[in-house]
Amino acid sequence: MPGLALLFALVVLRSCEGAANNALRALPCPDPEDIYPCVCTVGTENHMTMDCSHVASEDELARVFSSNLPFTKFHRLMIEGNQKLRILREGDLGPVSFAIIRIMFSVLEEVQGGALAGSHTTADAIVLIDNPLSVWPFHELPLFTSLSLLELYGGALIAIPALRSGSLQKILLGYNQIDGIAADCFHGLENILHIDVHGNNIETILPETFATLPLLSYVSLLGNSLGSIHRGAIALSSTRDGIVDLHLNAISSIEIDAITGLNAGELLLTGNSLSVLEEEVFRPILEGGAVVYLGDNPLRCGCDVAWLVTDPVLLGLTWEATCSDGEALENLDPSIFEDLC
Q: What is the 3-state secondary structure (H, E, C) of the chain?
A: CHHHHHHHHHHHHHHHHHHHHHHHHHCCCCCHHHHCCCEEEECHHHCEEEECCCCCCHHHHHHHHCCCCCCCECCEEEEECCCCCCEECCCCCCCCECCEEEEECCCCCEECCCCCHHHCCCCCEEEEECCCCCECCHHHHHHCCCCCEEEEECCCCCCCCCCEECCCCEEECCCCCCCCCCCCCCCEECCCCEEECCCCCCCCCCCCCECCCCCCCEEECCCCCCCEECCCCEECCCCCCCEEECCCCCCCEECCCCEECCCCCEEECCCCCCCCCCHHHHHHHHHCCCEEECCCCCECCCHHHHHHHCCHHHHCCEECCEECCCCEHHHCCHHHHHHHC
The confidence score (pLDDT) of residue 10 equals 41
This prediction has a pTM of 0.90
**Mean pLDDT (whole number) for 14-34:** 62
Please state which of the ranges 10-19, 123-132, 157-166, 305-314 shows the lowest mean pLDDT. Answer: 10-19
**Mean pLDDT (whole number) for 66-94:** 97
The confidence score (pLDDT) of residue 19 equals 39
